[in-house]
Amino acid sequence: MRILGIDYGRSKVGLAIAETPLAQPMGVIRYSTPGELQIKIKRVIEDSDIDKIVVGVSEGEMAKESEEFAKSLGAETFDETLTSFEAQRLSIEAGIKRKKRREMEDAYAATVMLQNYLDEKG
């Protein structure tokens, strides 16, 4: 089963993928409109033969937007509180250069969220 993890943001989303018990970063999608994002995400889903989608949900206003986005994709939601912080810490410990960390921080956050989801679901 191929699972796509999404760290939703207002101008970019981070993507992670798992087909084993280990999640890995997939990339970042930048977008200008919700319609553009939907098209790009659907392309990823088709091209990567995704079976399940998990969208990270944090707190506050972004939580509502993330839940609506997940619903539009027919996706499951999962708590992503502090995943960005954890992703930054892990990428610094791994020695990833600052420029690469900035480019991929959303994908790393999606990876942490998806890994937490996989660990919890066993």
The model's pLDDT over 9-51, given as tens digits with 9 standing for 90+, comes to 999 999 999 999 999 999 999 999 999 999 999 999 999 999 9
Task: Identify the CATH number of the domain defined by range 3-121.
Answer: 3.30.420.140
What residues does 17 pair with on adjacent strands?
Answer: 4, 24
User: Would you state the pLDDT for residue 85?
Assistant: 66
- Is the predicted pLDDT of residue 100 greater than 80, yes or no? no
Residue 23 contacts residue 6 (beta carbons within 8 Å): no
Q: Kindly list the distances between the CA atom of residue 42 and the CA atoms of 73, 84, 89, 95, in Å, as whole numbers in the listed order.
A: 9, 24, 31, 33
User: Would you state the pLDDT for residue 93?
Assistant: 73
Residue 92 contacts residue 118 (beta carbons within 8 Å): no
C-alpha 116/C-alpha 120 separation (Å) is 6
Residue 44 contacts residue 4 (beta carbons within 8 Å): yes
User: Would you state the pLDDT for residue 101?
Assistant: 60
Q: Where are the domains of the chain?
A: 3-121
- Is the predicted pLDDT of residue 83 greater than 70, yes or no? no
Three-class SS state of 6 = strand
Largest CA distance in the chain: 37
Please give the average per-residue pLDDT across 78-86, as a whole number. Answer: 74
